[in-house]
Amino acid sequence: MPKRIFRKYLPKPERLREQKSLRFLGELLSDPNLWHINRRSLAGAAFIGIFAGLLPIPLQMGLAAFLAVRFHCNLPLSVMLVWISNPVTYVPIFYFTYRIGAWILGMPPHSGEDITVAWFVEQLIPLWVGSVLCAMLFGGAAYLTVKVAWRLAVIRSWNLRARARARAQRRAARLEQTAQRDEHKGEKEEETEGPRQS
């Protein structure tokens, strides 16, 4: 069941080959191992996609694709999840990661009065610390979520199949009992009809 869901929403290989930022992968995009849909591949891809998406760098899709190839994870999912950070979400995401980094480093948040180049360079440290920490935490959470959700879906599928099998067995047993009853009833009728005819 989880495979059907992922196949429905993941981009097709042709669509990823059209991406300029992924052309450096060349023929690797045709490798079927990067398109496998299984628990391990998708969980790793979730980690990679979230991790790359939360780093304040350009070419996040390229990084996600490289890591997916390197660690044999599902390429489309890792590239797709990078888009959690997009032009609409950059500011809230990176402000949050900056605040986390500043809190960890014990730096007071800047009031915004005297913004200079030196200030920007100084703020890169808490931004990177917060971004890497959040990327690891949220990537790890995504990894575990996929693993657990996949496992629960498999268990649910097993339970549904077991119930269906049990229903089929009960139905077969009832049919067999009915057939035996009818056969037994037919034998009794033959016995009772036999003496009357003679």
* Residue 68 belongs to some domain of the structure: yes
Domain span holding position 168: 2-92+138-187
For the chain, how many structural domains are there in total?
1
Give CA–CA dist 198/192, Å, rounded: 11
Higher pLDDT, 11 or 63: 63
Give CA–CA dist 196/39, Å, rounded: 72
Per-residue confidence band for 81, with pLDDT thresholds at 50, 70 and 90: very high
> Which alpha helices (H) appear in 25-89, and where do they start and end?
39-53, 60-70, 75-81
* Residue 67 belongs to some domain of the structure: yes
* Residue 47 belongs to some domain of the structure: yes
Per-residue confidence band for 191, with pLDDT thresholds at 50, 70 and 90: low
149 exposure class (CB count in 10 Å sphere: 0-12, 13-18, 19+): middle
* Residue 104 belongs to some domain of the structure: no
Give CA–CA dist 155/173, Å, rounded: 27
Asked if pLDDT for residue 57 goes beyond 80, the answer is yes
* Residue 197 belongs to some domain of the structure: no
Q: What share of the chain is helix, strand, coil (3-state, %, to 5)?
A: 80, 0, 20
* Residue 163 belongs to some domain of the structure: yes
Mean pLDDT of the chain: 84
pLDDT digits (tens, 9 = 90+) for 82-131: 999 999 999 999 999 999 999 999 988 666 667 778 777 888 999 999 99
* Residue 60 belongs to some domain of the structure: yes
pTM for this entry: 0.72
Do 113 and 21 form a contact (C-beta atoms < 8 A)? no
* Residue 172 belongs to some domain of the structure: yes
Residue 68: which of 46, 53, 89, 83 has the closest Cα?
Answer: 46
